[in-house]
Structure 1
């Protein structure tokens, strides 16, 4: 038993996948959706006030009159997509979570919003010259491995029309420096976020080379041990520019976040506006 548990508690190789999907596990995906929909929580989406400020600013830098067809990559339950539609865009949202997409479709139908939602792994999307602009928001880019970051940029680049724009954000080196390595455990006698059953929860935060962080959660129930690995790559300005230029994009402008704050080296996020 010791060897079995020790295997799960060891630090995995960088970008090792989880053996539980936070997006499609029946219980965890429900908790993730609730986190998305909490307007005062930043666990899965940014706070509602930030989202509204962000959409208003995005409409200024990518006006819907010039960039009407918008792709919302990693759209979740549609918090941004609905506001983009109401701002005048023709919106397509894509997300891997079937629960989030089901909620988004239901919400759009209830509100009479003509938004196209697609439940698909965005690493497999194959649009060509379809969209005038795209967003990839809440630092999802850095949660991908190096190879998959290249793939998502290729996919978005191919899906944009010539002159199309992409806005996305990443965590900066300031976030990496602030990240604290810890390991904690707790007994969840009545279940919780990670499982409806009684379970032991072991949480660890670890730093890796190349400014990579891991938030690892091990869930031990009576009959299973499962692990969730949430990876994040934090970027310097130079490392970010190197990756986007390899994909063929041209840098347009840098910002401190996707609501238009000025870029400074002491901010915890970097937002970048690119052009095909």
Structure 2
């Protein structure tokens, strides 16, 4: 017990910038079940946006000519297909990519139930290798904010290659207001999101402000449980990183990556940017 406690205490340290988790998260079989439930529960703002917001986002895409019959759309991190199925209903030719097998299983069943043809692929979209294949690449719920700068820039290059000339990259990103500083939290669970059996969760947010109004935030979760064999115990650290942007910083990142920024708004539905808003949404074109 003393050794287990010592490991747990040692794990509760400030992480190095963009230090990764110690174990898989998105494709962990147990965690994936909880993630799918969060995607589908409109009262839980942790994985997907409510259906009404998704409807508004798709309507905004259609109004810009970025969704409609024959438009080729790549949905990065598609989850259970909540956006993909809405786009397919409009006649888009949709490809969805995600790491979670359980989310993709749900997405395929939902598409089949409506007779929609959507190409779902289980893959890490950071390894995207398609060339000049899509009219629109879409990424929602702030995933572009979760990568270290070098990973983000590599992904932007891959997205640019995957788009046809003049194609659009549409995504949203978190702002600093979305991740305010907060204290430590802990939870004791008989079984839940992180583990099927008894476990403790020690949670802390680390926030590092930048000189340009941006910030880097890390939500760190130290999970303590009995381990697979029940002996000795196990301590596992998961880290969720967020590079929160301003309109100016996000525009600079995209311009450096070879995109022309067409619009920066407060949401994928095109709401205006406000001082108290937590999100930015971008439409950027290939040159």
State if a TM-score over 0.5 links the two structures.
yes
Q: 1:219 aligns with which of 220, 223, 229?
A: 223
Equivalent residue number for residue 21 of structure 2: 18
Write the mapping of 1:1-276 to structure 2, written as runs, cut at 5 A. 1=3, 2-64=5-67, 68-176=71-179, 179-188=180-189, 190-210=190-210, 211-222=215-226, 223-276=233-286
Structure 1 gap ranges (5+): none
Instruction: Give the secondary structure class of the aligned counterpart of 1:263.
Output: coil
1:21 shift after superposition: 2.4
After superposition, the C-alpha distances for 1:89-115 in whole angstroms (9 at most, x for unaligned) are: 111111122221222122212321100
Q: TM-score, normalised by structure 1?
A: 0.94
Cα RMSD over matched residues? Answer: 1.6
Question: How far apart are residue 67 of structure 1 and its match?
Answer: 7.0
Q: Which runs of 5+ in 2 are unaligned?
A: 227-232
Question: Cα deviations across residues 239-262 of structure 1 (Å, max 9, x unaligned)?
Answer: 111111111100111111111101
Contact 2:69 2:90 in 1 (8 A): no
Runs (4 or more) in structure 1 with deviation over 6 Å come to: none
Q: Is the 8 A contact 2:8 2:222 kept in 1?
A: no
In the alignment, the residues of structure 1 paired with residue 66 and residue 152 of structure 2 have an alpha-carbon distance, to the nearest angstrom, of 27
